[in-house]
Amino acid sequence: MSENLNVFEIAQQQIKDACEKLKVKPAVYEILKQPMRVMEVAIPVKMDDGSVKVFSGYRSQHNLALGPAKGGLRFHPTITLDEAKALSMWMTFKSAVVGLPYGGGKGGVKCNPKELSEGEKERLSRGFIQAIAPIIGPEKDIPAPDVYTNAQVMAWMMDEYSKLRGYNTFGVITGKPLIVGGSIGRNEATARGCCFVIREAAAQLGINIKGARVVVQGFGNAGSIAARIMHDMGAKVVAVNDSRTGIYNHNGVDPYEVLEHKNKTGSVGGFPGTTEISNDELLALECDVLIPAAMENQITEENVDNVRAKIVGEAANGPTTPEADKVLYSKNILVLPDILASSGGVTVSYFEWVQNLQNFYWTEEEVNSRLEQKMVDAFNNVHRISKEYSVDMRSAAYMAGIKHLADAMEIRGWLG
């Protein structure tokens, strides 16, 4: 569904719309409509059977006006250059919206990690870092985990970069294991940040988060953690799904038990006391909060009329198309856009990077408290702009980010 939608063109249109609403100099859009640097690489990997397979990899650096590039690396069979470019643009705005000294970066390798052994995955990770090493570094571009990459992959990448430099360079990568410079709270950060923003939005709408009905699309890292945090806040998680199937229980499920079930069986399907539902059925459930935590282009023109949530909190990147966005806004459904709602990950990545540079590490309470403050401040700022300009929250988030970037580019003399 909707695979033909070009996410790069979507990102460009979102930036253009926000620039026009803010009435910034034309040069702002001209600079922001494309990445400053893109690298495409070929990575030869010796496979377990002795053969050599060549994988394609990408790294896009969108805008460096506020600081070094920052953003994830994914291992996925469908990643394209345009996708990497679009995701790097969204990362620029995520950082700007929460006031981080970063530009946006994104990339990955075209592969199916489920078909790779641990050894093959490690050799691919190290080969990719060797290939993009000239353009990354703690002062230039700091990658992080994304779809189908994790702390172990980041450890291999950090280690390979450190070997190339001849000394430990923990600050080149974030999302690492704690033992090699990772930050407490990083794994939960994207979901936790999203839940903080959902909580603030619910309060604005007069929805009591305790007892609120929550639906989570995608039960990977972000989705499963978001479900557990919302459950801990007192919300009722009534439905979740994964890439195989979905489950529904009107009275709610315990996401901790669902996760245990998924770890044992490989899917949420078959969880006791639930009804199996399709992805389309899940998106159409009546609920207070819908959390898309899977992939891009999930809420589209084809299914948006069926969405009956009061709040859509985007834990994934680009789950709602521009056409669907307009429909949701017309239906008075409050969309908390990805560049705001899912910016908790890059925020705690920033905290990890700061800790690496200082070689001084914070407690979990400090990390979560600082994250909450950043997310609440960002939500309040975006919500204020939304009311001031009478625009939806996505436009307001882009406007907040573009204002921040335009000010930096102006003072640096980039705008003429």
Active-site residue set? 106
Q: 166 in the Ramachandran plot: left (φ > 0), alpha (ψ -120 to 50) or beta?
A: left
Residues in a beta bridge with 217: 241, 292
DSSP 8-state code for residue 135 = G
Query: 246, 268 in Cβ contact below 8 A?
Result: yes
- Sheet of strand 236-241, all strands in order from the earlier edge strand to the far edge: 275-277, 246-248, 236-241, 213-217, 286-292, 308-313, 334-336
3-state secondary structure of 356: helix
Cβ neighbours of residue 326 under 8 Å, at least 6 residues apart?
Answer: none
Alpha-carbon separation of residue 400 from 92, 341, 372 (angstroms): 12, 14, 19
DSSP 8-state code for residue 363 = -
What is the rounded distance in angstroms from the CA atom of residue 396 to the CA atom of residue 394? 5
What is the rounded distance in angstroms from the CA atom of residue 255 to the CA atom of residue 232? 10
What are the phi and psi torsion angles at 105 (to 5°)?
-135, 155
3-state secondary structure of 362: coil
